[in-house]
Amino acid sequence: LFTGRSLHALYFKSLVASSTYLSNHFVNLYSKCGRLSNARAAFDCTEEPNVFSYNVIVKAYAKDSKIHIARQLFDEIPQPDTVSYNTLISGYADARETVPAMTLFKRMRELGFEVDGFTLSGLIAASCDCIELIKQ
């Protein structure tokens, strides 16, 4: 983390033009290290965030059990992709929010997005939680 933070500081002090590619890597670095506030700051400094930028920060918030903020960020994505949907569906599954996961899946299908193994994995996880509730 120290090396990453040092590189991030050097990046901001340099005369190099802002790079979405590099900013995305800093967001990813901080989120993987559990530094959500730093990840958000790096995301907010990204001049032209792309779908990858959003996917990384949505995942970071979902993993930190802040699924409602993850959803708000998802809703800001100009053109979400299959990864965007899979990320939020998995986040809902982790948060044990089955209905929003299924609703998002339905919307994903209506819009014609491809369903892949990651989609199904998230749905299975969400469904398992639903089955556990029924058993109780």
Query: Which H, E and C letters describe the chain, residue by residue?
Result: CHHHHHHHHHHHHCCCCCCHHHHHHHHHHHHHCCCHHHHHHHHHCCCCCCHHHHHHHHHHHHHCCCHHHHHHHHHHCCCCCHHHHHHHHHHHHHCCCHHHHHHHHHHHHHCCCCCCHHHHHHHHHHHHHHHHHHHC
Both 88 and 30 in one domain: the answer is no
Both 82 and 43 in one domain: the answer is no
Residue 6 has pLDDT above 70, yes or no: no
Q: How confident is the model at residue 120 (pLDDT cuts 50, 70, 90)?
A: very high
Both 135 and 86 in one domain: the answer is yes
133 or 125, which is more confident: 125
1 or 135, which is more confident: 135
Model pLDDT, residue 87: 98
Q: How confident is the model at residue 131 (pLDDT cuts 50, 70, 90)?
A: low
Does 75 reside within a domain?
yes
Give pLDDT tens digits for 90-116: 999 999 999 999 999 999 999 999 999
> What's the mean pLDDT when you consider all of the chain?
86
Both 36 and 77 in one domain: the answer is no
Given phi > 0 = left and psi -120 to 50 = alpha, else beta, which region is 89?
Answer: alpha
Residue 49 has pLDDT above 90, yes or no: yes
Does 62 reside within a domain?
no
What is the rounded CA–CA span in Å between residue 58 and residue 65? Answer: 11
Model pLDDT, residue 15: 42
Q: How confident is the model at residue 135 (pLDDT cuts 50, 70, 90)?
A: low
Q: Which domain holds residue 11?
A: 1-49
